[in-house]
Homo-oligomer: A and B are copies of this chain.
Amino acid sequence: MSELRWDPLKMSWVVIANERGRRPRDFILERETVHLAACPFCAGNEAKTPSELFAVRPGGGAANGPGWKVRVIPNKYPILRIEGQLDKKGVGHYDTINGIGAHEVIIETPDHDRHLADLSVAEITDVLRAYRARMLDLRRDGRFRYLLIFKNHGLEAGANVPHSHSQLIAVPITPTVVATKLSVCREYYERKERCLICDLTDQEVADGRGVVRDDGDFVVFAPFASCHPFELRIVPRRHGHDFGLLDDGALALLAETLKDTLMRLRAVLRDPAYNFVLHNAPPMHPRLGKPDYWSSLPYDYHWHIELVPHLIRPAGFERGTGFYMNPAPPEAVARFLREADLSVSR
């Protein structure tokens, strides 16, 4: 079983795999596309995957059979395992937690050759419904402190299975970068009675130069202090801490924004590899209240999506210091994306 370890100097958690007998050269290779005789994510190959946890089947039909539009399964090679109780230990100055968690795959389409940007708004809405369903289910598990939903598109972004999919990882800790955002928003709210993310979004909209699109429900902008070229933030204009509380109508509006954004990126950058991460408030800490208290809690966080194409490799010193160089001014990025010719986006 893998193990989570806390570094008190860097103040961060890491998941350490505990596989044995590996040779050093197992770590030399870059990630490579997995070539499989038959793609386990394709329609008709349902038997090649673990049993499904959720599916959108408009015409009905049995679980693990055909007829689905979106299908969620446990990852066959999970980095964290669902079975067992949390075991937290100090090891001198370090802390450890055994590798308990969940690692799920959201298969976004039965069709091997269609990417997320190719799906219709209705189909993307189904993907978002799957995100919401899995989030609402997993947050009832008191062992998990945070639920990460993210997508890797393209080999450079870590997607070694080409069939379009997203992932959900439930972890027994709050990741560092998320914890920073949460505490910054809390402090800001306590001082000002306003949401920092609302205020930043208002400033971006008022300035306008970084805005890619704004339909009144969701705004997409290249943040003024973007760390990476073509980094984008997708923010709901209406303050809300919890993606899980969105209704189907809001999911459809988000799907429209997401499709349009991905089409623009594709038109301007020719199908770049990218990641997006859904930044949501964490589930309630089990000691703070009963789980359903969560759903009515007014909260100082504001959920959003961060999307980063992989255009340049960060040098290690950037990782080691947190000091990034961004060669693409966000104002220029937003202009390129606003002016994108969507007719060339396949």
Contacts and interface: CB of A to CB of B under 8 A. Distances in A.
A250 interface: no
A22 B268 CA distance: 13
B317 A277 contact: yes
Contact of A157 (B28, B184, B197, B315): B315
Nearest to A148: B321
A15 B329 CA distance: 10
A224 B94 contact: yes
Interface string A283-314: 00000000000000000000000101011111
A17 B314 contact: no
Interface string A304-337: 0010101111111101111111111110100010
A315 B152 contact: yes
A327 B328 CA distance: 32
A313 B9 contact: no
Interface residues of A, number: 93
Given A17-B326, A180-B10, A311-B28, A277 B316 contact: yes
Interface stretch (A43-51, A60-68, A226-234): A226-234
B184 A16 contact: no
Contact of A12 (B8, B20, B269, B322): B322
A322 B152 contact: no
A224 B330 CA distance: 38
Number of copies: 2
A106 to B, nearest CB: 14
A30 interface: yes
Contacts of A156: 313
Interface in A208-246: 223-230
A226 B324 contact: no
Nearest to A21: B332
Interface of A: 5-20, 22, 24-31, 79, 91-94, 148, 150, 152, 156-158, 171, 175-178, 180-181, 184-185, 188, 196-197, 199-200, 203, 207, 223-230, 268-270, 272, 274-277, 279, 306, 308, 310-317, 319-330, 332, 336
Given A16-B225, A27-B327, 12 more contacts: A5-B224, A13-B225, A27-B311, A28-B311, A94-B203, A94-B224, A94-B225, A157-B315, A157-B316, A158-B316, A177-B323, A314-B314
27 contacts: A7-B225, A8-B188, A8-B200, A9-B185, A13-B323, A15-B323, A15-B325, A16-B326, A19-B327, A24-B336, A27-B311, A28-B311, A29-B311, A148-B323, A150-B320, A157-B315, A157-B316, A158-B315, A175-B321, A176-B321, A176-B322, A275-B317, A277-B316, A306-B320, A308-B316, A310-B316, A314-B319
